[in-house]
Amino acid sequence: MSEANLTTTRGVSLRSLRAETEIRAIGKALEQTGWNRKRAAELLSISYRGLLYKIRQHKIAPPKDSELTTVV
């Protein structure tokens, strides 16, 4: 059975659960750092290039300028 066909008892694929978890973790790290991707990568303990890849892979976009908050 391929990874794409593996499902939990509720019918949710392992792949989709992983993607949702990555999106939430990356989004939270980017939000905490005011979208400083280098610092977000450090928080997530992944490389900067790895973070850039995941941002593109999951099509994560920064909020509009008015929604960015200053990190103190």
- What are 13's strand-pairing partners? 7
Task: Calculate the alpha carbon distances from 4 to 11, 53, 60, 64 in Å.
Answer: 12, 21, 22, 34
Q: What are the boundaries of each domain within the chain?
A: 12-62
How far is the C-alpha of 71 from the C-alpha of 34, rounded, in Å? 6
pLDDT tens digits for the chain (72 residues)? 455 555 555 678 999 999 999 999 999 999 999 999 999 999 999 999 999 999 999 999 998 875 555 554
The predicted structure's pLDDT at residue 1: 44
The predicted structure's pLDDT at residue 68: 58
- The top-level CATH class assigned to 12-62 is mainly alpha
How far is the C-alpha of 8 from the C-alpha of 67, rounded, in Å? 36
The predicted structure's pLDDT at residue 9: 58
Element (H, E) at 53: helix 48-57
